[in-house]
C-alpha cells in the first residue's frame, strides 16, 4: 500500500482543500440552510473522482448515491451524511463556524468532525486508489443522506424505495474517534433514540408575575413533570422503560473489560472532577455503552435575556432525548412516556416526537470487523479499542442490521472534536491518517474470508 | 370641579397625544435603550405645564424631580417611573410595541399601563387644574425614577442623598387598575421582592448528548434543585421562609372579605378553567394578597431553536422571583436560599441577585386614603374595592413607609392591561377618567383633616 500512502501524502494539501470547500458550505437540515448546494457538491465530488452519482429523492432532502466498480464482487458501502447540526451558541466559537479555519494543526468548522471529515476522507481514499492503481479492489457505494442530524426522518422511506440499490457485504459507518491517548476506537453498533419536545401551557398570554400567586405557572408544572422522569440517582422512572433492556453477554463483558477509556484525560479536557455518580472503570464503561439515557437537550420558558423581568410565562418547552439500547423500541418508549405523563397528572402536557430510531449491533466476528481491526494496527501502530456499541445514535438498524449488513464505525474525529458543540474540530494529521486507513480497508476487505 | 372636568374633556385629544408621544419613545432600563431621551422628555413636560424640574443624579439612571407650589402647606407626591419592561416576545404583539396604536378605544404600547399612562394622567391633571384655576390646592411633587423595572436598584441611594427633597404628606403610588367589572381598585401597600438568577454549570463546553450517560447534565441538576424549592402543593420548602410572615389582623380579614375580585371574568380572559390549587373566594384573595410566591420567570439551557439538536448543555440558568409579604426581609430570604441550596447538595449553583425590596403597607385610616376613596365614588360612580396590599412590588418601603409617608395606589390600568406582557394596553376612557380622578384627589386632599 506504500504507493497509495505516498500519493496521499503528496496530495495532502489537495485533500485538505476539499474538506475546507465542503465545510465552508453550510448545510443545516434543521433550518433548511444550504441543503441543495451541499447535495450538489457531494454529487460533483463523486463524479469528479470517477464514480457514478445521482441524487435519490425522498420526501425530505435527497440522498446522494455514488457507485464505483471493483475488481471483486464484494461491495463495501460508506454511510455518511452531508447535513450538520445548527452552529449556535455562536458567541462561543473562536472562528466562524463555516470558516474552516486551520489553527495549530486542527481544522475548525461545524460539521468537520460530524460528518464532513469522514465523508471527504472516504472520497479521498477512493480517489487515491484509483489514481495510483487505476481500479478498486472491491466495489464501493456511497450513501450520503441529508437528515442524520434531524433523525434520518425519511431514511426508512429511502430504504424501502431503493432496497435494490443499497445491498453490500459490509458498511463503514459514518463516524469514528480517537481516544484522548490517540488510540483509535472501533465501534460495532449504535444506541437508538426517542427525541421529543414536551410543551406545557398556562394562561393564554405572559402575565405580570404578581399573578403567580393564583395563576398556574407552566414552567413549574413542566419542572415537576420532568422530576417524575428522572431523579438524581439517574434512574429513569417511566414504568416499563427498562423492561426490554438486554442483559450483557459474556462477549459484551469481555469487550467492556478490554475497551480502553481514558478517564483522566477526558475529565481534564472537560474541566470536570468526576463522572456522573462518581463512576469509574467497568461500571463507567458499562453505563456509557449499555445503559439508556434521558437527557434534557434544551429547556426554555419566560424571559431569558439580560437582567431581570418579572413575568409569569404562558408556556414552557423542553427537548428530551432518550438514547436506547437493545432491545428497546423507540415507538414503545414514546407510548410509555405518554402513559407516564398521563398517570402522573400531566395529561395536558403535549408531546411532539422527532427522531425515533432503533438501537443496532454488529457481531465482533465478521470479515469487515476483522479488516477494520487489522488495518488499524498497521496505520496507527497500536491496537484499537473496540466498543461493543457506540453511545451515539444513527439509522444503522434500518440501513444495515435490518438487511443483514455488518456495520463498523471508524473515522477521523477525536475525543475532543466537540461534535454538536462550539469549536467542532479534527486534527489535520488524523484526517490524512484516516484517508490512508480507508484505502487500507478497501484492500484488506477484498482479502478477508 | 366641573370646570376642571370640562377642560379635561375639551383637551382630550391633547392629553392622548402626550401619552402617544412618550409611549413612542422606548425606555428599556434592562437594555439601556432610550433612557436619557425619556428622562429629558419627562423633565420637559413638567416645565411646560409650569413646574420646576430637574434630573437628580444617582449611580444609575437619574430621577426626574418636579415641584409645583400649592395654596396649602400640604404636599402630595406622585411616584412614577419612566422605564419600561423589555418588549419581547415580539412576535406576539399585534402592533409595534412602541407604536402607541389606538384600536377600538384602547392604546397599545409597552409601558402604556406600566407606567406611562399614570405618569401622563397625573401631569395632565396638574396641567388642567393650573389652566382652569391658575393654582393648585396642595403642593405637588413628581418623583419619576428610571429603574423600577430593574428593581429600583439605586433608589435607596437616591432617598439617602435627597431625603430633604422628598418629604410629603401623602404619596399617590405609581399604579392602579380597574377590575374586570370596571370597578376601580385602590391598594394600600406592595409585596416585597427577592429576584435572583441561579446558574448551574457542567462541562466546560456543550457536548454531544451521547456523553450524557456519564457526564453530569447541569439542566437536570438545576431542575432537581428547583424541585427542592417548591412542589405542586405550592408551599415554598426553604427552611425559615415563612417564619416572619405576619398573621392577618381583623382589619385585614375584613378588607379581604370586602375586596371584590371577579374570578369568572379573569379566568375567561386568560383562557383558564381554574385558579391555582382550585382556589376560590376568600382563600384565593388571601393567597393573592397575603402569601409570598416563588416564580420561575425564565429558564434556559441547551438548544431552544426549531427542531431537534442532541446536545448535553454546559450550563443552565433560571430566573426566580420571590414576592414577599410583611415582615419578610429580602436580604434574609436571599441568605436562606443560599443556605437551602448548600444543605441540599447544590452548593455549586451560583446565585446572582437582582431586585431586593421590602414589602410595605399603608394604614386604612389616614387623610390620603380617605381622599382617594371618597373621590373614587364621585368619579367612577361606584364604591372602589380596597386591596390591603397589592400583589405587585415597588420601592414603597424606602420611599414612603420608611419615612412615615402614607402611600396609596390608584391609576388608569385595567385587569387585562397585560403589564410586562405582549399587547400592553389601557382604555382611552380610563385614561381620561384617571386624569379627572387625580384632579379631584388634589382638591379633596387639601380638605381632609
Nearest chain B CA: its distance from A346 CA (Å):
12
Note the pLDDT tens digit of each residue in B70-80: 999 999 999 99
Whether A209 and B86 lie within 8 Å, measured CB to CB: no
Task: Work out the pLDDT band at B415, boundaries 50, 70, 90.
Answer: confident
**Span B240-266, average pLDDT:** 93
- Identify whether the C-beta of residue A113 lies closer than 8 Å to the C-beta of residue A418: yes
Question: To the nearest whole percent, how much of chain B has pLDDT over 90?
Answer: 91
- Identify whether the C-beta of residue B349 lies closer than 8 Å to the C-beta of residue B222: yes
The pLDDT score that the predictor gives to residue B44 is: 98
Q: Spell out which residues of chain A touch residue B208, defining contact as CB-CB under 8 Å.
A: 114, 392, 419-421
Q: What residues contact B316, with CB distance under 8 A and at least 6 apart? A: A296, A299, B199, B200, B218, B219, B221, B222, B223, B299, B300, B301, B302
Q: Is B449's pLDDT higher than 90?
A: no
Q: Is A132 on the interface with B (CB under 8 A)?
A: no
Q: Spell out which residues of chain A touch residue B220, defining contact as CB-CB under 8 Å.
A: 230, 295-296
Q: Is A265's pLDDT higher than 90?
A: no
The pLDDT score that the predictor gives to residue B363 is: 86
Task: Work out the pLDDT band at B161, boundaries 50, 70, 90.
Answer: very high
Of A291, A307, A355, the CB nearest to B308: A355
Q: Nearest Cα to A179, choosing from A417, A444, A424?
A: A417
Note the pLDDT tens digit of each residue in A198-239: 999 999 999 999 999 999 999 999 999 999 999 999 999 999
Can the peptide bond before residue B327 be classed as cis, meaning omega within 30 degrees of 0?
yes
**Span B153-158, average pLDDT:** 93
The whole-angstrom separation of Cα B413 and Cα B185 is 10
The whole-angstrom separation of Cα B140 and Cα B71 is 11
pLDDT averaged over every residue in chain A = 96
Of A288, A291, A420, the CB nearest to B310: A420
DSSP state of A84: B
Phi then psi for residue A54, to 5 deg, are -155, 165
Q: Is B365 on the interface with A (CB under 8 A)?
A: no
Note the pLDDT tens digit of each residue in B185-214: 999 999 999 999 999 999 999 999 999 999
Q: Is B280 on the interface with A (CB under 8 A)?
A: no
Whether A279 and B308 lie within 8 Å, measured CB to CB: no
Chain A residue with the nearest C-alpha to that of B93: A205
Q: Spell out the domains of chain A, with CATH numbers in brackets.
A: 2-188+362-447 (3.40.630.10), 193-245+291-357 (3.30.70.360)
The pLDDT score that the predictor gives to residue A234 is: 97
What ipTM was reported for this prediction? 0.85
Note the pLDDT tens digit of each residue in B23-77: 999 999 999 999 999 999 999 999 999 999 999 999 999 999 999 999 999 999 9
**Span A111-122, average pLDDT:** 98
pLDDT averaged over every residue in chain B = 96
| DSSP 3-state of A109 | coil
Which B positions 316-345 lie with beta carbon below 8 A of chain A? 316-317, 319, 321, 323, 345
Q: Is B228 on the interface with A (CB under 8 A)?
A: no
What own/partner pairs with CB < 8 Å and gap ≥ 24 does A104-108 have?
A105/A427, A105/A428, A105/A429, A106/A425, A106/A426, A106/A427, A106/A428, A107/A16, A107/A19, A107/A20, A107/A23, A107/A425, A107/A426, A107/A428, A107/A431, A108/A423, A108/A424, A108/A425
- Region at A153 (left for phi over 0; alpha for psi -120 to 50; beta for the rest): alpha
Q: Is A313 on the interface with B (CB under 8 A)?
A: yes
Of A288, A296, A300, the CB nearest to B214: A288
Note the pLDDT tens digit of each residue in A371-408: 999 999 999 999 999 999 999 999 999 999 999 999 99
Note the pLDDT tens digit of each residue in B309-337: 899 999 999 999 999 999 999 999 999 99
Which B positions 45-84 lie with beta carbon below 8 A of chain A? none
Q: Spell out which residues of chain A touch residue B199, defining contact as CB-CB under 8 Å.
A: none
Q: Is A21's pLDDT higher than 80?
A: yes
Question: To the nearest whole percent, how much of chain A has pLDDT over 70?
Answer: 100
Q: Spell out which residues of chain A touch residue B319, defining contact as CB-CB under 8 Å.
A: 302-304, 308-309
The pLDDT score that the predictor gives to residue B89 is: 87
Candidates A90, A220, A388, A424: best to mutate against B (most CBs of B within 10 A) is: A220
Which cell numbers hold the place of B198? 441561579
**Span A136-143, average pLDDT:** 98
**Span B355-363, average pLDDT:** 93
**Span B172-180, average pLDDT:** 93
In what side-by-side order are the strands of the sheet with A101-103?
Answer: A101-103, A106-108, A425-427
Task: Work out the pLDDT band at B434, boundaries 50, 70, 90.
Answer: very high
Q: Is B185 on the interface with A (CB under 8 A)?
A: no
Task: Work out the pLDDT band at A307, boundaries 50, 70, 90.
Answer: confident
Candidates B189, B216, B263, B298: best to mutate against A (most CBs of A within 10 A) is: B298
Which A positions 399-418 lie with beta carbon below 8 A of chain B? 418
Amino acid at each position: 500500500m506504500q504507493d497509495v500512502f505516498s500519493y496521499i501524502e503528496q496530495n495532502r494539501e489537495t485533500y485538505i482543500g476539499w474538506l475546507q470547500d465542503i465545510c465552508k458550505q453550510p448545510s443545516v437540515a434543521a433550518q433548511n440552510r444550504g441543503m441543495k448546494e451541499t447535495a450538489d457538491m457531494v454529487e460533483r465530488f463523486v463524479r469528479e473522482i470517477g464514480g457514478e452519482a445521482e441524487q435519490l429523492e425522498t420526501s425530505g432532502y435527497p440522498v446522494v448515491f455514488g457507485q464505483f466498480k471493483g475488481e471483486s464482487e464484494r461491495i463495501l458501502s460508506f454511510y455518511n451524511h452531508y447535513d450538520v447540526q445548527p452552529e449556535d451558541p455562536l458567541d462561543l466559537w473562536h472562528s466562524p463556524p463555516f470558516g474552516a479555519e486551520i489553527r495549530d494543526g486542527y481544522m475548525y468548522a461545524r460539521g468537520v468532525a460530524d460528518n464532513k471529515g469522514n465523508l471527504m476522507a472516504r472520497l479521498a481514499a477512493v480517489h487515491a486508489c484509483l489514481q495510483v492503481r487505476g481500479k478498486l479492489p472491491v466495489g464501493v457505494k456511497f450513501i450520503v443522506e441529508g437528515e442524520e442530524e434531524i433523525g434520518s426522518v425519511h431514511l426508512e422511506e429511502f430504504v424501502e424505495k431503493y432496497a435494490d440499490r443499497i445491498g453490500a457485504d459490509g458498511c463503514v459507518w459514518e463516524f469514528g474517534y480517537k481516544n484522548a491517548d490517540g488510540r483509535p476506537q472501533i465501534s460495532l453498533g449504535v444506541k437508538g433514540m426517542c427525541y421529543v419536545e414536551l410543551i406545557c401551557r398556562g394562561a393564554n398570554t405572559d402575565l405580570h408575575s404578581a399573578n403567580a400567586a393564583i395563576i398556574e405557572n407552566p414552567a413549574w408544572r413542566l419542572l415537576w413533570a420532568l422530576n417524575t422522569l428522572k431523579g438524581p440517582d439517574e434512574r429513569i422512572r417511566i414504568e416499563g422503560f427498562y423492561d426490554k433492556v438486554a442483559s450483557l453477554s459474556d462477549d459484551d463483558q469481555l469487550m467492556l473489560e478490554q475497551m480502553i477509556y481514558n478517564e483522566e484525560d477526558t475529565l481534564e479536557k472537560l474541566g470536570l472532577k468526576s463522572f456522573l455518580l462518581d463512576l469509574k472503570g467497568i461500571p463507567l464503561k458499562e453505563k456509557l455503552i449499555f445503559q439508556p439515557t434521558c437527557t434534557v437537550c434544551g429547556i426554555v420558558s419566560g424571559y431569558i435575556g439580560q437582567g431581570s423581568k418579572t413575568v409569569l410565562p404562558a408556556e414552557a418547552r423542553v427537548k428530551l432525548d432518550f438514547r436506547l439500547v437493545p432491545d428497546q423500541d423507540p415507538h414503545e418508549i414514546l407510548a410509555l412516556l405518554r402513559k407516564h405523563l398521563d398517570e402522573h397528572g400531566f395529561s395536558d402536557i403535549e408531546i411532539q416526537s422527532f427522531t425515533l430510531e432503533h438501537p443496532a449491533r454488529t457481531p465482533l466476528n465478521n470479515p469487515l470487523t476483522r479488516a477494520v481491526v487489522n488495518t488499524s494496527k498497521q496505520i496507527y501502530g497500536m491496537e484499537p479499542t473496540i466498543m461493543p456499541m457506540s453511545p451515539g445514535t444513527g439509522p444503522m438498524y434500518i440501513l444495515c442490521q435490518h438487511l443483514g449488513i455488518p456495520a463498523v464505525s471508524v473515522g477521523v474525529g477525536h475525543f475532543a472534536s466537540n461534535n454538536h458543540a462550539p469549536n467542532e474540530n479534527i486534527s489535520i494529521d488524523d484526517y490524512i491518517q484516516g484517508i490512508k486507513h480507508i484505502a487500507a480497508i478497501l484492500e484488506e476487505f477484498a482479502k478477508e474470508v
